[in-house]
Structure 1
Amino acid sequence: MPIIKNKKPTRRKSALILILFIFLFSKFVTSQSEYEYTINSYLLYFDIVDELKVKETIEVIISPNAPLSRYTFYSEYSIENPEAIIEINGKTQIANVSVSKIVGEINAIYIEFPEVSPGDQLKIRISFYSEGMLQTINGKKQFSYYVKFNQPVGYFYARLYIPKGYAILSPIVPSPDKVESSGNALVLEWKKQEVRPGEEFYFITGFSGEVSNEFPLLYFVVPVLIAFVGGFLAGILYKGKEKSTVDLRSDEEKVIGILREGPMYQSELVKRLGFSKAKVSLLLKDMEKKGLIERIKEGRTYLVKLKEM
């Protein structure tokens, strides 16, 4: 009589092989989707130097997930006198910096350093002077800046230093997390934890006028002013009051009139409209939601055209 073999061990072995395969496959997929490095923090510092120029400092702390010897920043603004230092596992040294224009007005800033590997801690700090962040709109000075992240960031911080002699005016977008005096100047701070891939930030701050005699009083009223401006601006942008709607239509008509000439890069629209880059970006996003225009991504910029009806 033939012996009937127990089939259970075979089934158990097959199940173990299947589980092992799924585990290895999931690890492979995860490793394929990992970023080259992890951005632990991304800090921006803006110091207004004069009526045209801003000193920008970027400080990034990253943990490499693979061998890394170069880091690239991108900027829509002019780059003058860039200087960079790096800190690898606590040791500081000067880094090599080069700048090249890639698409439209987009500048790539390359920072080269000795190769780092997973487990190392890398801190990069670069400073340079830029023009284009400060514009005069309706007789008032306005600071504007735009940044978009293509991968997660653990902690994001931005600081704007406004020297003595200027009063903060609307608009202020977004509302600062903190406003304080530092010597004879004002410091505005914005903070964000856990930035998602694709998340973008528009910073707009108006300022104007000589206020040297009233500057201490300004420190006191700024928080109240910001609260008021935040509510006022929210009403303008989202509640659609009659006056703001008329103003917005006027801006939209300007955009539509220009685009009737043909598709145009967003940077060219900024020049034609005479608005800040941040204002144009907000305006175009709103028009795109309304179905008035299309924005086609080309590299790190957009080609804008009228929506075909």
Structure 2
Amino acid sequence: MPAPEDQKSRGRKPAVIGLFLILFLVLSLCFFPPAGAQEYDYTINAYALYFEVTSPDNVKENIEIDLTSHTNLTRYVIYTDYPVENASAVIDLGGTVERVNVTVRKVLGGTNAVYLSFPVLKPGQSGRISLSFTTRGMVTESNGKSQFAYYVKFSQPVGVFHMQLLVPKGYAVLSPIIPSPDRVESSTDRLLLEWQREDVQSGDEFYFVVGFSGEIVVPEAPSPWLYVGVFLIGLLTGGGGVYGYLLYRERKLREESGHLRSDEEKILAILREGPVLQSELAEKLGVSKAKVSITLREMEEKGLITRVKEGRTYRVFLRE
């Protein structure tokens, strides 16, 4: 029978080999992560934007982000080209609501960076961030009507993207409406438009443009006899009324296209003096960056201009 110390000596070899295998496996995972490993620090399950036009100049904006962390997450940053005033935020940690520290700073190009600091989200933990603030610059006036414009681009995938625009009582939505809303709801005190997209990919961008009239003053209720007279006149002049309406719509379309041509002509006149950065065009024209982006995209499709990526913006050239 072999001595006991010989048996103990042979038993160490498998243990040593096992330790080397475990160490090799750990190092392999560190330097060569398996396919499907998380590319981002968190997953955005849902991203929602809510806009409420409170006056011709001001808009109340609310951003809600539902995310799941893959690391110890304590901060989230939102970038916007519009001013941020009276900002406040909370985070819902699944039944527990905590306050979020909000800091707004100017970064390169005049963009506002909104830093949201909150209690640590551990790997696998989900939270819903809700940020509210007042802003301006999204609503512009043109030819007696207002226009809301907003642009958003995502730097990572989003499960569900939702946007809502609330226009107050006394306003009527007019063309253009880009893109067509998935839902329109009208009531006595508001007009609501909603859009929703699923499986948004990194780099996807969205333009939202909605035209609406100025405030409508509701007159006092007229005499019932007036309704009778209007009804009789309508019977007699129904055909003429339809024809007049068609002429009116055609005139409005001409006015809108004429206004668009006017914007294009201004841009072409500027570009004849040399290439210009897209961000500078908005300042020269006195319009929002979103509106300039939409107009340039249409001009590029028509073959009038060429845009070349330069930093975080584009340099615009006149196509010969």
Same fold (TM over 0.5): yes
The separation in 1 between residues aligned to 2:258 and 2:59, in whole angstroms, is 33
Which residue of the other structure, out of 130, 136, 142, is the alignment partner of 2:147? 142
Match status 1:45 vs 2:50 = yes
Correspondence list, 1:67-86, <5 A: 67-86=72-91
The residue that corresponds to 1:253 in the other structure is: 265
The residue that corresponds to 1:282 in the other structure is: 294
The residue that corresponds to 1:292 in the other structure is: 305
Q: Give the AA of the match of 2:126.
A: Q
Correspondence list, 1:184-195, <5 A: 184-195=189-200
1:34 deviation in Å?
Answer: 0.8
Correspondence list, 1:10-25, <5 A: none
Match status 1:266 vs 2:271 = no
1:132 deviation in Å?
Answer: 0.4
The separation in 2 between residues aligned to 1:121 and 1:92, in whole angstroms, is 12
The residue that corresponds to 1:306 in the other structure is: 317
Q: How many pairs does the alignment contain?
A: 260
1:291 deviation in Å?
Answer: 6.5
Match status 1:181 vs 2:186 = yes
The residue that corresponds to 1:220 in the other structure is: none
Q: Give the AA of the match of 1:37.
A: Y
SS in 1 for 2:295: helix
Deviations 1:244-285 (CA, angstroms, capped at 9, x unpaired): 887655433321322344444323312322344332112222
Which residue of the other structure, out of 156, 162, 165, is the alignment partner of 1:157? 162
Q: C-alpha root-mean-square deviation of aligned residues, in Å?
A: 2.8
The separation in 2 between residues aligned to 1:52 and 1:60, in whole angstroms, is 26
SS in 2 for 1:166: coil
Q: Give the AA of the match of 1:295.
A: V
SS in 2 for 1:51: coil
In the superposition, relative to structure 1, how do residues 151 and 180 fare at CA in structure 2: closer, same or farther (>3 Å)?
same
Q: Give the AA of the match of 1:107.
A: N
User: Could you tell me whether the CA contact under 8 Å between 1:89 and 1:120 is conserved in 2?
Assistant: no
User: Could you tell me whether the CA contact under 8 Å between 1:149 and 1:200 is conserved in 2?
Assistant: yes
The separation in 1 between residues aligned to 2:264 and 2:273, in whole angstroms, is 15
1:209 deviation in Å?
Answer: 3.4
The residue that corresponds to 1:217 in the other structure is: none
Bigger radius of gyration: 2
Moved more, 177-186 or 68-77: 177-186
The separation in 1 between residues aligned to 2:63 and 2:151, in whole angstroms, is 14
Q: Give the AA of the match of 1:50.
A: S
User: Could you tell me whether the CA contact under 8 Å between 2:304 and 2:319 is conserved in 1?
Assistant: no
User: Could you tell me whether the CA contact under 8 Å between 2:275 and 2:318 is conserved in 1?
Assistant: no
The separation in 2 between residues aligned to 1:263 and 1:54, in whole angstroms, is 34
The separation in 1 between residues aligned to 2:316 and 2:41, in whole angstroms, is 35
SS in 1 for 2:108: coil
User: Could you tell me whether the CA contact under 8 Å between 2:276 and 2:317 is conserved in 1?
Assistant: no
The separation in 1 between residues aligned to 2:273 and 2:141, in whole angstroms, is 26
The separation in 2 between residues aligned to 1:244 and 1:181, in whole angstroms, is 25
The residue that corresponds to 1:229 in the other structure is: none
1:168 deviation in Å?
Answer: 1.1
Q: Give the AA of the match of 1:190.
A: W
Correspondence list, 1:112-261, <5 A: 112-182=117-187, 184-211=189-216, 213=218, 250-261=262-273
The two structures have a TM-score, normalised by structure 2, of: 0.73
User: Could you tell me whether the CA contact under 8 Å between 2:47 and 2:160 is conserved in 1?
Assistant: yes
Q: What's the % identity of the aligned pairs?
A: 47
1:287 deviation in Å?
Answer: 3.3
